[in-house]
Chains A and B, each alone.
Chain A
């Protein structure tokens, strides 16, 4: 009897299903397809529409009148714009497979080099933000679930709803105003060391921690209602120990399933945050690229974001069977 109650606790079930490798292969194949589709979509948006890189480049330099048709044709040939769309697409896809996304119109450097140069700064920022967000979000959800005071619970659960509504650029500017200009605790601008990372990471962590807290609070409540919790409570386990040892790690699984969305919003937030704090990084690169209508660079950033989203989701799907044995027993049940 107690066995069957405990069997609903996923951490207790230990069975190995046969289809696990097929599940993993299918997921990897699907990830490749989505990546290819994201490339095609970004190509369609950025290249198939009437304004092409060369005309934008000519408009920008303001030399439309002095450039003769031959030079335009030469430029168009260099970008393969004189070929039919299908051929252009084929060339672009072949180059993208070799990680060549063309040269930035603005700087003339290869897009992939610029992205690789900018990536470490953004990675540091997003990792720190994610760590802060995880600690704050989990703390908030646990606090709200454990407290017996109704007003405190309402307050803790109300905070995330407000936090997701605040404009990121405004939060960043407020933090700058208070902590940099007001109290001189942190440097205001640039990429100098850990101190310059604190405020941007905090800015980026606020909406992320709110998402984590909201998802986790809901999942904690759902897990708390499961029979195995009741069984353990009947055995005399205290609520704090029960929550931390048995409920929390089961309730964390829904956080994993939104991790793709979380990473995506961190990347989007990095565009605003890096602009506010004048930091070098992929986000700043994206802002500058759109400002100067640098189409190859914009495509590079969009594809990088899609790649990161897809890889994170793939990793999560590969992690599921390790964390939740029910999926190992019955792969694909979750999808």
Chain B
């Protein structure tokens, strides 16, 4: 009986400000002591993307040929490339291109995943059957190959990479959202709302989606990490922006010809990509832990 009562008020149990922000924060920090470091990395790279001029005073596209292929130093933190361009500056300016593509990919996957998942979960029947078969097929093709197929048709470029990566990860979101919709749709408070005459769209937007937001957010953080990997891999393969642009994958790819003489050329920009993905995944796991802790 008691259980049933609590069940009708899940929002009260789940809202963080009632359980106390500081307590939640402490619990998360005890489980993941390195999380602040990861958040700092994400914030730093985000600021690179927003205000690149603040972080580097070298031109990312203009090189000094006399200073070609110099190793890391106090002046050139990441060294210089074969045209004498400052690699740190190129990495900083590349953050805008690579993170824009990544964010766009995650937003596309998130929005279309929510629409498909809500349609499938809320309406059920043949809509559900058709959409879930589609999700199954999408999952049968490795995401990178699916993205490559989309790029073949759309053509190359940062925007097309973002579209392709976004489309290739719709299936995961659709699946999760469908599950959440089914779960909350069966709850007593949704039944009560619909008994009060609340329309289906209001129920979805006001009652179901807010509850689904926590796991969806955790998945979005996880997808952000994989999207950074996918976007940079596609850019490395040569499907992204054309050469003078400092896209991260392209930066690493350009260094391939100078690996023997200039270790920093591929290593350091790649290290930045790795650090961003490690941090994003750590944030995702912290978000998932927190859900588990709150049930």
Contact = CB atoms under 8 A, between A and B. Distances in A.
Which among B151, B239, B270 has the greatest number of chain A C-beta atoms within 10 A? B270
Given A173-B256, A302-B141, A305-B141, A286 B133 contact: no
A167 interface: yes
Contacts of B140: 34, 38, 264, 306, 309-310
A124 B237 CA distance: 22
B285 A165 contact: no
B278 A301 contact: no
Nearest to A162: B278
Interface residues on B, range: 35 or more
Contacts of A181: 259-260
A295 B236 CA distance: 21
A46 interface: yes
B169 interface: no
Interface stretch (A16-24, A70-78, A267-275, A316-324): A267-275
Interface string B118-157: 0000000000000001101110111111101111110100
Nearest to A49: B153
B160 to A, nearest CB: 11
A161 B285 contact: yes
A169 B137 contact: no
Nearest to B138: A41
B232 interface: yes
A258 to B, nearest CB: 12
A177 B145 contact: no
B62 to A, nearest CB: 26
B274 interface: yes
Contacts of A268: 142-145
Given A38-B137, A169-B236, A173-B266, A271 B144 contact: yes
Interface in A170-195: 170, 173-174, 176-177, 181
A301 B146 CA distance: 10
A129 interface: no
B52 interface: no
B225 interface: yes
Given A34-B140, A165-B225, A275-B237, A170 B145 contact: no
B145 A267 contact: yes
Interface residues of A, number: 47
A168 B267 contact: no
Contacts of B145: 267-268, 271, 286, 301-302, 305
Contact of A174 (B143, B225, B260, B267): B267
B84 interface: no
B281 interface: yes
Contacts, number: 143
A116 interface: no
Contacts of B260: 181
A293 interface: yes
Given A176-B259, A177-B267, A290 B142 contact: no
A45 B153 contact: yes
B233 A309 contact: no
Given A165-B277, A170-B270, A34 B137 contact: yes
A286 B267 contact: no
A298 interface: yes
B42 interface: no
Interface string B56-90: 00000000000000000000000000000000000
A291 interface: yes
A46 B142 contact: no
30 contacts: A34-B140, A45-B149, A45-B153, A161-B278, A161-B282, A165-B229, A165-B280, A167-B236, A167-B270, A167-B273, A167-B274, A169-B232, A169-B233, A169-B249, A169-B253, A170-B266, A173-B259, A174-B267, A177-B267, A181-B259, A268-B142, A271-B144, A271-B237, A272-B237, A275-B236, A286-B145, A291-B237, A295-B153, A305-B142, A306-B141
The 6 nearest A-B residue pairs measured at CB:
A170-B270, A268-B144, A268-B142, A165-B277, A264-B142, A165-B278
Given A41-B138, A181-B260, A275-B236, 8 more contacts: A34-B140, A165-B280, A165-B281, A166-B274, A169-B253, A290-B239, A291-B237, A306-B141
Interface of A: 34, 37-38, 41-42, 45-46, 49, 51, 161-162, 164-170, 173-174, 176-177, 181, 264-265, 267-268, 271-272, 275-276, 286-287, 289-291, 293-295, 298-299, 301-302, 305-306, 309-310
